[in-house]
A and B are shown apart, each in its own frame.
Chain A
Amino acid sequence: MEPVKTAVQSSSVARTRKPSRTINRVAYGILYLFLAIVAVFQIAPIVWLFFFSLKDNQEVFHSPFSLPTNPKWENYIKVWTEGNISQYFFNSVVYTASAVVLTVLLASMVTFAITRMKWKFSRLVLGLFMVGLMIPVHSTLIPLFNTFTKIHLIDSPLSIILSYTAFNLPITIMILLGFYEALPCEMEEAAVMDGASIHHIFFRITLPMTSPVIATAAIINMIYNWNEFVFVNTFISSDIYKTLTVGIQNFIGQYTTDWGAIGATLVISILPILTAFLILSNRIVEGIAAGSVKG
């Protein structure tokens, strides 16, 4: 697939018209400058967070933007030794991964049924999912708690995974929907002509074709779930089922908060999603290339 792509690119370069070259250069220069400045702004917070994690409260408040004068690596040691961080870490990974897979799969199935199949209530069902976007999380807590208590899912990882899935389904479906609607249906129609089964079409044609948006939706879901804490605090009471966000709370006291340690926890907690994010975000482009070969 790579050769095809480069061939297209070189042909477009050849077609660039000559007279405007210098103007183009200046324009590109300005463009890059702009992009670079924005990039600096976007990367600064993560660097700042790292410095933040090496400070004590005094420095955090007094010189928030300077380099740590006396880096406190012990913040990291504190975070690792106090509390169950490895257990929390494991739980975070399990909940996030399970919910992301479940959400993306279920949302794809729904979107596929709504945009590709013909049935009477498709719009109504879509509407049902969209309303889910609009309810503020905090007004659901008490009813959800009651529901989970009744079905004996309180203090169970399943309550977390299912809530994450249910609450992220609407936004995931919305994201998928825009793409499904923009994507031509010819390939699927051709497959129908060839007598392929519907599962075959969904799993072998539609899912691979939509892998860029699946990657996008997965990234968004992943970030939401990873940083979520309201559901975990509400539905989980046993320490062994809690997640990394609890590790942060470990450093919030009745009257004082240990900000350096919170920073260290956040640095540790950001590493896995940063990695996952970099891997997944490559899929956005690769997916297109794979799709275009088939076309």
Chain B
Amino acid sequence: MNHILSNKKVILLYIAPALFLILALVYVPIVLTGYYGLMKWTGFGGMKFVGLENYSRLIQDSLFWQSAYHSFLLALFSVLSLIGYLLVSLILAGKIKGANLIRKIYLIPMLLASVIIAQLWMKIYHPSNGLLNHILIKLGIENPPSWLADPEWVLFAIIVPVIWQYAGFYILIYYAALKNIPQELEEVAKIDGATPFQIATRIKVPLIMNVIKVTIVLAVVGSLKYFDLIYVMTGGGPNGASEVMASYMYNKAFNEFDFGYGSTVGFFLLIICLIVTYLIRKLTVVRPNDNN
């Protein structure tokens, strides 16, 4: 048995194509980004080696740290939102009528391109004829904030659609994981008189713990390098109030022709992601993995 499962040729055959792709198309750029990060470079023309100068600039760059703080807030809220998605998935994966239809409906926003999601939310947040302020005024709030223009509100205003955009993604993953749990376990628990709540917290959630861990990593890493909606909806403004690390990097590299420094930010972002992922893995180790 061990002989078959540790056949080197087979392992190589299964790993090599994917590994080759990722080395050629992801690692080469990562290494080059790290290299450009040590340069003073507009993106074309001559490069000048400046060593760690860009990094010392980064450490002192308060605008970068402000954007990093925003990214971390986004990551925090994304992780918290997972609880809600897990709850919805538990309900949908339970034996309720119409679950199949409801699940499909829930996933629909996921199909929409970012450009249209941005348009939708910009119209919801519009200060004078937006949906949100219409409702707030009807509710008697006299001077509702002009969301995307207000430095105090803009970050939260932008976090909501980002989280909403990914609802389908996580519900889909959780749902599939829950459906993967053998029915028998639930039946046995029911015979023992467990309530649906107990079944959910004591049996189902622990059983999909590995999947939950994966989603936490995905949510955190995804948030830390998030870019799309924010760039379209506010461009990081007003005056940096909704800037995140990836949009900061983009602005530096592509709008300010400072590709060297932009690469430094990009590479630093990767390092932050690595550290955070490592910490998550450390913190969420429930039991040693017995599959190996």
User: Are chains A and B touching in the complex at the 8 Å CB cutoff?
Assistant: yes
Chain A contact residues, CB within 8 Å of chain B: 8-9, 11-12, 15, 28, 31-32, 35, 38-39, 42-43, 45-46, 48-49, 52, 62-65, 106-107, 109-110, 112-113, 115-119, 122, 125, 128-140, 142-144, 146-147, 162-163, 165-167, 169-171, 173-175, 177-179, 181-183, 185, 189, 192-193, 197-199, 202, 212-213, 215-216, 219-220, 223, 227, 245, 248, 259, 262-263, 266, 269-270, 273-274, 277-278, 281, 284-285, 288, 292, 295
**A142 close to B214 (CB less than 8 A):** no
With a CB–CB cut-off of 8 A, which chain B residues contact A181?
210, 289, 291
Q: Which of B25, B131, B207 has the most CB of A within 10 A?
A: B25
Q: Indicate with 1 or 0, residue by residue over B1-14, a CB within 8 angstroms of chain A CB atoms.
A: 11011111011001
> Which residue of the partner chain B has the closest CB to A27?
B196
The list of the 8 closest CB pairs from A to B, nearest first, reads A139-B266, A178-B211, A134-B273, A140-B29, A166-B25, A143-B29, A143-B32, A64-B123
Compute the total of residue contacts between A and B using a CB distance below 8 Å.
282
A sample of 11 inter-chain contacts (CB < 8 A) reads A65-B123, A117-B10, A117-B14, A134-B269, A135-B33, A144-B25, A170-B26, A182-B207, A212-B179, A270-B112, A284-B179
Question: Is B262 close to A, CB under 8 A?
Answer: yes
Residue from the list A45, A202, A248 in contact with B115, Cβ < 8 A: A248
**B109 close to A198 (CB less than 8 A):** no
**A136 close to B211 (CB less than 8 A):** no
A129 to B18, CA, bound (A): 9
**A220 close to B172 (CB less than 8 A):** yes
Q: Pick out which of these stretches binds chain A: B56-64, B151-159, B234-242, B247-255.
A: B247-255
**B274 close to A138 (CB less than 8 A):** no
**A110 close to B2 (CB less than 8 A):** no
How far in angstroms is the closest Cβ of chain B from A69? Answer: 15
Residue from the list A12, A65, A110, A182 in contact with B210, Cβ < 8 A: A182
**A109 close to B15 (CB less than 8 A):** yes
- The DSSP consensus for interface residues of chain B is helix
A199 to B179, CA, bound (A): 26
**B274 close to A216 (CB less than 8 A):** no
Query: Assuming A49-B112, A136-B227, A139-B266, is B217 touching A147 (CB within 8 A)?
Result: no
**B114 close to A227 (CB less than 8 A):** yes
**A192 close to B29 (CB less than 8 A):** no
**B221 close to A134 (CB less than 8 A):** yes
Residue from the list B36, B111, B123, B273 in contact with A223, Cβ < 8 A: B111
With a CB–CB cut-off of 8 A, which chain A residues contact B254?
138
With a CB–CB cut-off of 8 A, which chain A residues contact B115?
248, 262, 266
**B180 close to A45 (CB less than 8 A):** no
Question: Is B103 close to A, CB under 8 A?
Answer: yes
Q: Pick out which of these stretches binds chain A: B73-81, B88-96, B138-146.
A: B88-96
Query: Assuming A192-B1, A292-B182, is B273 touching A49 (CB within 8 A)?
Result: no
Question: Is B108 close to A, CB under 8 A?
Answer: yes
A292 to B180, CA, bound (A): 10
**B116 close to A263 (CB less than 8 A):** yes
**A281 close to B104 (CB less than 8 A):** yes
**B274 close to A166 (CB less than 8 A):** no
